[in-house]
Amino acid sequence: MTDALPGLDATASAPAVPRHAGYAIEDDLQARSPGGRPLRIAGVDEVGRGAWAGPVVVCAAVTDLSAPPELPGRGTKTVRLTDSKLLTEAHREAFADVLPAWLAGHAIGAASPAEIDELGMTGALRRAAVRALQALPEPPDIVLLDGKHDFLGAPWRVRTEIKADQRSVTVAAASVLAKVHRDRLMAALDAEFPGYGFAGSAGYPSPVHQKALEEHGPTPHHRMSWSYLDDLPRWRHLKRHRDPLTGEGQLSLL
């Protein structure tokens, strides 16, 4: 992490991952709070980092540290909140319907393909996350990020945690809401641009997506600085490049 709380270092290696998210990380942060002051913790997670098309989406979520909602499972079992990638699509959708009313606050931020091309992925992630954090009803005291890379930096007080989307209720909630929001957005684009498989792949690489690109080229929702264009001889000339000598934001067709 950065300077979230004095004397607290980032997790050096991946800890044991529980079967569902809990509040161990949040409890640790609260225990380290100066004077025991309650902390407003925003869990942040992103989706869309590796896609060829569509925005990168970030959700910031804040809980009141109460037990999260559960879904009915098979028989007497229940489905508990965890990383969105470990849930079925139906369970993600169901959680996305109930989480907003349960959360103390949440907000979505996004960075467009054009911003990804202009800023690079790290810069675009930061822009999307700042938009989400600034849209929260109240600013957080600390931001809990999934992974070991702090893409936010100052002035945000950040704690990074490996597998936080599986270990933290706060980050798991953000993971689900970000994923469902982006999937719905990409499904809506599928009707406008049929054939690219946006409803099924959400803009990520797939055989259907690759074939459509080869035949029809990129849409206005594609990232034009990405290497997939190198494999498309007919459209390679459209690729945009950032000049490292002129700084971020300088794009050209080379």
The phi and psi torsions of 229 (rounded to 5 degrees) equal -70, -25
Separation between Cα atoms, residue 185 and residue 199, nearest integer Å: 9
Separation between Cα atoms, residue 217 and residue 3, nearest integer Å: 45
Q: Tell me if 45 is assigned to a ligand binding site.
A: yes
Which domains are delineated in the chain? Answer: 23-69+87-190 (3.30.420.10)
Structure tokens that stand for 3 in this block: 């300077």
Burial class (CB in 10 A: 0-12, 13-18, 19+), 145: buried
For the chain, how many helices (H) and strands (E)? 7, 9
- What pLDDT score was predicted for residue 178? 98
Separation between Cα atoms, residue 164 and residue 82, nearest integer Å: 9
Separation between Cα atoms, residue 199 and residue 187, nearest integer Å: 4
Q: Tell me if 146 is assigned to a ligand binding site.
A: yes
Structure tokens that stand for 213 in this block: 């690109």
- Cα 119 to chain centroid distance, Å, stands at 17
DSSP H helices in 54-134: 89-102, 113-134
Separation between Cα atoms, residue 241 and residue 27, nearest integer Å: 45
Q: Tell me if 3 is assigned to a ligand binding site.
A: no
Separation between Cα atoms, residue 70 and residue 48, nearest integer Å: 26
Residues 6+ positions from 241 with CB-CB distance below 8 Å: 225, 251, 252, 253, 254
The tens place of each residue's pLDDT in the chain, 254 residues long, gives: 443 443 344 444 555 556 678 999 999 999 988 887 899 999 999 999 999 999 999 999 999 999 999 998 887 789 999 999 999 999 999 999 999 999 999 999 999 999 999 999 999 999 999 999 999 999 999 999 999 999 999 999 999 999 999 999 999 999 999 999 999 999 999 999 999 999 999 999 999 999 999 999 999 999 999 999 999 999 999 999 866 544 444 444 43
DSSP readout, 3-35? SSSTT-PPPSSPPPPPSS-BSHHHHHHHHTSGG
